[in-house]
Chains A and B, each alone.
Chain A
């Protein structure tokens, strides 16, 4: 079991460019979560999927951010027209219901 896999580990984009972050959850886990982590804001919930269906995206900025889970083996977080304030570590996690979240190592996004 390789755990939750996130790619890339680091991504550098220019302001206004698009960034797509990938997550491969642990096989068999029914929920996938996306969080954003910064020094200032801490760990912010963005969105989660249950059995591939979007359940709660209350933490997603309404513009420019979107997440998808086209199949049970991966999820993507897309940020359009990236801004410097989007710079953060984006964490993906997966779990069974009522169980601990297993986190990936994150993707560090730097927007120049």
Chain B
């Protein structure tokens, strides 16, 4: 079945720096993906849903890139700020209901 590897597990950057989190997946049939953000003590909140038809997805302060050839999904925070400090999870779906999550990245943005 699908496996999703997420790197790095921990990331520390300074305010204004970029932060990049990458997920690689194994199932070539995966065609939709999610990024979730989990702030301390809170539940997972959707950042973005992307489909395999779109390789570049722009969000508010971030970009999600999908490389189907390499089966790689990345979240790029362009100018991180302390409010971005949280855990981030990617997920991949092949249709239906079940999605497979990555193991998460804990991002710390220091002033």
Asked if A70 is at the interface (CB within 8 A of a chain B CB), the reply is no
* Interface-located stretch among B12-20, B52-60, B73-81, B96-104: B96-104
- CB of B97 within 8 A of CB of A97, answer yes
A42: nearest residue on chain B (CB-CB)?
A: B103
- The docked-state distance in angstroms from the alpha carbon of A84 to that of B49 is 36
- CB of A48 within 8 A of CB of B44, answer no
Interface of A is mostly: strand
Asked if A112 is at the interface (CB within 8 A of a chain B CB), the reply is no
Interchain nearest-CB distance for A15 vs B (Å)? 26
B9: nearest residue on chain A (CB-CB)?
A: A42
Known: A91-B44, A100-B34. A43 touches B96 (CB 8 A): no
Interface of B is mostly: strand
Chain B residues with Cβ under 8 A from A42's Cβ? 89, 101-104
- CB of B43 within 8 A of CB of A55, answer no
- The docked-state distance in angstroms from the alpha carbon of A30 to that of B43 is 20
Chain B residues with Cβ under 8 A from A105's Cβ? 42-43
Asked if A104 is at the interface (CB within 8 A of a chain B CB), the reply is yes
Query: Which residue in B36, B93, B98, B102 is a CB contact (below 8 Å) of A56?
Result: B98
- CB of B43 within 8 A of CB of A104, answer yes
Instruction: For chain A, residues 34 to 81, give those with C-beta under 8 angstroms from any C-beta of chain B.
Output: 35, 41-43, 45, 48, 50, 55-56
Asked if B62 is at the interface (CB within 8 A of a chain A CB), the reply is no
**Which 4 residue pairs are nearest across A and B when measured between Cβ atoms?**
A42-B103, A31-B97, A103-B43, A103-B44
Apart from A31-B97, A56-B98: 18 A-B pairs, beta carbons within 8 A: A30-B97, A35-B101, A42-B89, A42-B101, A42-B102, A42-B104, A43-B103, A45-B98, A91-B43, A91-B44, A95-B97, A98-B32, A101-B44, A103-B43, A104-B43, A105-B42, A105-B43, A106-B43
